[in-house]
């Protein structure tokens, strides 16, 4: 469901640092409709009545013979000419293949050339069976050319006029075209000029079925790029009528073909995926009824009809079903917010209606026919036995996998745990499993009908698609079985487990399936099925984070898989084993298994898991082993594979999310922010805000927190919290991390009482779900203690912090590194209260714990070092203090929280002053003041102290000296 394979989703290992419990510090008028005549092909008449273009400008057609060569491409023939340019068939001598070369009309200025080059390069990154592939873009003279796949066939408009297909065949074509649009949208590309002329229908060749591809993304633009300046409203009204069917391509004009433009585009809004959907539905209506939905022989009439939603009614006697009309109605909504959320959602609705049984129509006919039907029965011959409808056996395959019985068993299993959040989680999980079941059935019917009904797909490809669906069914069944035997870890991770089920869109990716390793021989299939069933069960254990149980079963199963000598099954087994090893702490063995699985996949040509394995290696090396250079290297490999595959949105979102956390660990917060923001955009556009997006919000919030953008962090943590609550209910322990992080963001803004309230809710959740002896309870209790101190309630502060440390010591032992932060908090409280003697051993212990766990160069050492320096200064000890504080400043550069920087800089200023280096002392104090100002409300007291110090030490200071220890 999230774009991962079962193996990739099986386990993510321990929670990432960005998702752990964190610790403190650190949005006209009426018009008369113009009707041309009653022709079914009215728009052909519209086009005939419109005066041809007479403008003489740089874009006028040039009648010239085809050049011999464009760039490195040898021109074969002219394929066509249009408003945008000329298209040639050409030969690429370097890659030994025929291509299409489109030369865009007009003398391209430098800016225009750069824009067109960028847009074509964006398209070159997209590889999808329903999109014409762009290979190259270049400049020849003063014109831009684009090299693309040569599709031998015809465009949709000519195909409809020649074939006169029925609505079912038209919908088949539009579903394929819609998939191409959806793929472009998934990587942020907007077509901006979708119409029948830009849908190409390739000829069927041998066993290869006819392919439908969307072409001419020459107007496409990355969705996130700045919009071009829109024209003034009246400029459109003055435009010549011929432009009704001509693309607008001027850099300062609304871009697209007016007859297919959405209302918001006429108002000057930038095209987006919803305006593409609108054009898609205009084209669908046009091909269904042989007329466009909006009349208009002039630009003014057309614009008014579109903007006001004045639409032609469907022709009388049309056989187009009502559900399809309703779908068009929604896609043509004036308000883009009332359309489908995405092309994927529109296509899913088509699939849902097309798979509905039709028995109820017969029943309805009987109800209206009454006695007439009975009278006919007396004279009519006996009816033939009803034909068995093909491709309707999918539900039978889900019996015992996910049906009423297994749903009931799961509900009972969750209830038996008696967890306070079990009911909420079950409702969310069951709803998602129902949706997954529906999607599986739709995919099965589509795969089957493509071969047995529509005859556009080979039997071999059907077998591959069904095999893919069968593996997903196994995983679904294993998860349902685990739910029936639920315990606390299963319930806790249930939503994540459902959202990690295999992505069913992979089972419709015919291009990838055709290039996959051949299916096994019949003799092997039974043995493979047994291994696959057990692998599915193991993935369930991993999703519940039962690593030791999984490891005990994974090792012998991998050996059994290897003996079968069928790479795909052994690669899956290695991946599962590696995840079990990583979860159980055997990191070296896990690393070796992951790499072995990757090399075997590459050597055998089994490309499907390569990306999953690479992304897993990025997270494993970066998050679990903190080997950032290796993580980045694997990340570069994953990026290359993503680009080769056309950058599928969900896969790229996964990569960006994992890589973003690696960059957080490396301290490169700008890179991390950009990656996480893009991951969120892709994920939300593809599947909405789900639990994965909640995790991304949490990670991005951590970036904003570390860089001093506390209001942004507050918004992100609040949204992560809301999504988690919508998903899991108000009592789920997954609310604890965003609550604790939210408290930290509130604290940094000086909203102490709100922060305490958030931590109180954390503690209540922890007590209800984990108990008051759980180490996380101790961590949050310590956080709360320091928070009430900041709120001015010191009588509550020390007892809470001390009890938090005691709980952690009892649960984890006295040497665990998790103790360092709460101990440092207690030390900070003590020194601010003036109790230097109590603070000193606490700062030292926090320092020692972090050195033992992370070494001597970890940024977490900066504050304990500064704390120990403050102790020395309070005791009048100056020796070595300046050097220690300079070291603390160097360490904190990796994670430069402004409030913490202010503490260290100000302490250094005090030390420098006492050592006689007064000029540098004043400089450091001013730098501390700037950091405190950046830190905001949380550093108000410190800012006041620094301002006072600067006033006192600069108003009448004597000659400054330059020497420092």
Domain range for 928 is 754-954
Report if residue 829 sits inside a domain: yes
Supply the mean pLDDT for the chain: 80
Judged by average pLDDT, the poorest of 8-22, 191-205, 686-700, 860-874 is 8-22
For residue 309, the 8-state DSSP code is T
Q: Please tell me the predicted confidence (pLDDT) of residue 141.
A: 78
The region of weakest confidence among 79-88, 614-623, 830-839 is 79-88
pLDDT of residue 651: 87
> For residue 964, is it within any domain?
no
* Higher-confidence position of 594 and 36: 594
Rounded Cα distance, 433 and 498, in Å = 7
pLDDT per residue over 330-346, tens digit each? Answer: 999 999 999 999 999 99
pLDDT digits (tens, 9 = 90+) for 374-402: 222 233 334 444 444 578 889 999 999 99
Structure tokens, 466:
């069904």
Q: Does residue 14 carry a pLDDT above 50?
A: no
> pLDDT tens digits, residue range 446-503?
999 999 988 888 898 998 899 999 999 999 999 999 999 999 999 999 998 998 898 8
Task: Give residue-wise pLDDT tens across range 882-907.
Answer: 999 999 999 988 877 788 899 999 99
Number of domains in the chain: 1
pLDDT for the residue 64: 55
At residue 483, the pLDDT reads 95
Overall average pLDDT of the 73-89 stretch:
78
Portion of the chain with pLDDT greater than 90, in percent: 43
Rg (CA), the chain: 33
Domain-embedded: residue 559: no
- Residues forming a β-bridge with 74: 69, 91
pLDDT at 112: 61
Query: Which pLDDT band holds residue 912 (cuts at 50, 70, 90)?
Result: very high
Check 43, 193, 424, 509 and give the catalytic one: 193
Does residue 17 surpass a pLDDT of 50?
Answer: no
Q: Are 480 and 402 in contact (CB under 8 A)?
A: yes
Report whether pLDDT(563) > 60: yes
pLDDT, tens digit, 9 for 90 and up, residues 247-288: 444 333 444 588 899 999 998 888 999 999 999 999 999 999
Q: Is residue 903 part of a domain?
A: yes
First to last CA, the chain: 61
- 47: in domain: no
In the predicted model, is pLDDT for residue 734 greater than 70?
A: yes
The pLDDT tens digits of the residues spanning 525-548 come to: 888 888 988 998 898 888 888 889
Question: Which of the two residues, 103 and 596, has the higher pLDDT score?
Answer: 596
> What mean pLDDT do residues 226-232 have?
37
- Enumerate residues 6+ apart whose C-beta is below 8 A from 296: 34, 46, 244, 259, 302, 303, 304, 305, 306
Task: With respect to residue 773, please indicate whether it lies within any of the assigned structural domains.
Answer: yes
Q: How far apart are CA 737 and CA 769, in angstroms?
A: 14
Q: Among 93-102, 414-423, 646-655, 685-694, which stretch is predicted with the lowest mean pLDDT?
A: 93-102
Contacts of 743 (CB under 8 A, 6+ apart): 24, 755, 756, 758, 759, 762, 783, 787
Q: Are strands 212-214 and 199-202 parallel, antiparallel or unpaired?
A: antiparallel
- 438 catalytic residue (yes or no): no
Instruction: CATH number of the domain at 779, please.
Output: 1.25.40.10
Asked if residue 652 belongs to a domain, the reply is no
Please tell me the predicted confidence (pLDDT) of residue 50: 29
Return the closest-CA partner of residue 665 out of 858, 824, 846, 823: 858
**Does residue 33 surpass a pLDDT of 50?**
no
pLDDT class of 154 with cuts at 50, 70, 90: confident
Per-residue pLDDT reduced to its tens digit, 400-413: 999 999 999 999 99
Express each pLDDT in 602-647 by its tens digit: 998 888 889 899 999 998 888 888 888 898 999 899 889 888 877 7
Residue 713 has pLDDT above 80, yes or no: yes
For residues 363 and 302, the model is more confident at 302
36 pLDDT band (50/70/90 cuts)?
A: very low
Half-sphere exposure of 587 (CA within 13 A, CB side): 13
Q: Which residue has the higher pLDDT, 953 or 111?
A: 953
Residue 238 has pLDDT above 90, yes or no: no
Which residues lie across from 90 on neighbouring strands? 75, 99
Instruction: Answer for the pair 577, 542: CB distance below 8 angstroms, yes or no.
Output: no
pLDDT of residue 392: 84
Q: How many helices (H) and strands (E) does the chain have?
A: 41, 11
- What are 656's two structure tokens? 């960006």
Q: What is the DSSP string of 828-874?
A: HHHHHTT-HHHHHHHHHHHHHHHHHHH-TT-GGGHHHHHHHHHHHHH
231 assigned to some structural domain? no
Report residue 711 as tokens: 């209001």
Please tell me the distance from the alpha carbon of residue 342 to that of residue 344, in angstroms, as a whole number: 5
């Amino acid at each position: 469901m999230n774009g991962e394979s079962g193996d990739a989703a099986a386990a993510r290992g321990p929670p990432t640092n960005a998702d752990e419990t964190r610790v403190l510090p650190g949005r006209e008028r009426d018009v008369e409709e113009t009707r041309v005549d009653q022709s079914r092909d009215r728009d052909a008449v519209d086009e005939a009545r419109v005066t041809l273009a007479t403008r003489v400008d740089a874009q006028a057609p040039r009648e010239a013979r085809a050049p011999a060569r464009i760039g490195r491409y040898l021109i074969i023939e002219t394929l066509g000419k249009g408003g945008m340019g000329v298209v040639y068939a050409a030969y690429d001598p370097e890659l030994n293949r025929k291509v299409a070369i489109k030369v865009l009309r007009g003398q391209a200025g430098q800016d225009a050339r750069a824009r067109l080059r960028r847009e074509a390069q964006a398209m070159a990154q997209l590889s999808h069976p329903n999109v014409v592939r762009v290979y190259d873009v270049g400049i020849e003279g003063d014109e831009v050319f684009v090299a693309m796949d040569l599709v031998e066939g015809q465009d949709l408009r000519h195909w409809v006029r020649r074939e006169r297909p029925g609505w079912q065949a038209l919908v088949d074509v539009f579903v394929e075209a819609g998939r191409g649009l959806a793929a472009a949208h998934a990587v942020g590309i907007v077509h901006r000029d979708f119409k029948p002329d830009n849908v190409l229908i390739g000829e069927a060749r041998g066993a290869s079925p006819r392919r439908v591809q969307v072409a001419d993304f020459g107007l496409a633009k990355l969705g996130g790029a700045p919009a071009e300046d829109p024209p003034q409203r009246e400029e459109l009204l003055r435009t010549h009528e011929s432009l009704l069917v001509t693309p607008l391509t001027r850099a300062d004009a609304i871009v697209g073909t007016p007859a297919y433009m959405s209302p918001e585009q006429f108002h000057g809004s930038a095209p987006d995926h919803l305006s593409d959907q609108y054009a898609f539905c205009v084209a669908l209506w046009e091909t269904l009824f042989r007329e466009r939905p909006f009349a208009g022989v002039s630009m003014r009439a057309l614009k008014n009809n579109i903007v006001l939603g004045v639409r032609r009614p469907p022709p009388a006697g049309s056989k187009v079903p009502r559900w399809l009309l309703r779908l068009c109605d929604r896609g043509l909504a004036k308000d883009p917010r009332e359309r489908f959320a995405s092309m994927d959602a529109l296509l899913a609705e088509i699939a849902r209606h097309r798979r509905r049984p039709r028995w109820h129509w017969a029943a309805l006919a009987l109800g209206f026919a009454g006695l007439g039907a009975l009278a006919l029965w007396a004279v009519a011959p006996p009816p033939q036995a009803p034909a068995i409808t093909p491709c309707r056996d999918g539900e039978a395959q889900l019996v015992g996998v996910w049906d009423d019985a297994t749903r009931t068993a799961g509900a009972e299993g969750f209830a038996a745990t008696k967890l306070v959040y079990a009911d909420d989680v079950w409702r969310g999980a069951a709803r998602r499993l129902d949706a997954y079941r529906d999607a599986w059935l739709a995919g099965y019917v589509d795969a089957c009908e493509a071969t047995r009904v529509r005859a556009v797909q080979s039997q071999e490809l059907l077998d591959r698609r069904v095999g893919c669906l069968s593996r997903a069914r196994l995983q679904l069944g294993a998860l349902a079985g685990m739910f029936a035997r639920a315990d606390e870890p299963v319930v806790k991770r249930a939503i994540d487990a459902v959202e990690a089920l295999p992505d069913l869109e992979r089972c419709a990716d015919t291009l990838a399936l055709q290039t996959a390793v051949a299916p096994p021989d019949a003799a092997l299939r039974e043995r493979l099925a047994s291994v696959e069933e057990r692998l599915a069960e193991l993935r369930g254990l991993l999703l519940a984070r039962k690593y030791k149980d999984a490891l005990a079963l994974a090792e012998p199963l991998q050996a059994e898989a290897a003996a079968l000598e069928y790479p795909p099954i052994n690669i899956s087994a290695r991946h599962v084993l590696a995840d079990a090893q990583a979860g159980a702490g055997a990191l070296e063995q896990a690393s070796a298994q992951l790499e072995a699985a990757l090399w075997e996949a590459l050597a055998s040509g089994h490309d499907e898991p390569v990306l999953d394995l690479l992304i897993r290696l990025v997270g494993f090396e970066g998050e679990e082993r903190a080997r950032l250079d290796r993580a980045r290297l694997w990340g570069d490999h994953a990026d290359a594979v993503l680009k080769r595959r056309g950058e599928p949105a969900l896969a790229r979102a996964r990569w960006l999310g994992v890589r973003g956390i690696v960059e957080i660990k490396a301290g490169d917060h700008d890179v991390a922010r950009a990656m996480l923001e893009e991951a969120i955009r892709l994920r939300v556009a593809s599947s909405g805000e789900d639990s994965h997006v909640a995790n991304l919000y949490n990670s991005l919030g951590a970036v904003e927190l570390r860089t001093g953008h506390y209001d942004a962090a507050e918004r992100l943590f609040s949204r992560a919290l809301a999504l988690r609550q919508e998903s899991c209910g108000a009592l789920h322990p997954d609310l604890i991390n965003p609550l604790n992080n939210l408290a930290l963001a509130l604290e940094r803004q000086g909203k102490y009482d709100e922060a305490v309230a958030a931590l109180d809710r954390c503690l209540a959740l922890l007590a209800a779900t984990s108990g008051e002896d759980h180490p996380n309870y101790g961590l949050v209790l310590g956080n709360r203690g320091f928070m009430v101190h900041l709120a001015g309630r010191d009588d509550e502060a020390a007892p809470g912090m001390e009890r938090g440390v005691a709980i952690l010591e009892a649960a984890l032992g006295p040497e665990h590194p998790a103790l360092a932060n709460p101990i440092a908090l207690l030390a900070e409280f003590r020194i601010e209260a003036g109790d230097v003697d109590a603070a000193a051993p606490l700062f030292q212990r926090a320092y020692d714990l972090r050195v033992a766990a992370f070494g001597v160069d970890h940024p977490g050492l900066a504050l304990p070092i500064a704390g120990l320096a403050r102790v020395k200064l309070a005791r009048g000890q100056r020796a070595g203090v300046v050097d220690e504080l300079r070291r603390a400043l160097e360490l904190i550069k990796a994670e430069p929280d402004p409030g913490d920087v202010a503490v260290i800089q100000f302490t250094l200023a005090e030390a420098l002053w006492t050592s006689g280096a007064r000029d540098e002392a004043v400089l450091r104090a001013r730098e501390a003041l700037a950091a405190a100002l950046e830190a905001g409300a949380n550093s108000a007291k410190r800012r006041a102290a620094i301002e006072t110090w600067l006033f006192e030490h600069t108003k009448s200071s004597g000659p400054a000296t330059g020497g420092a220890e």
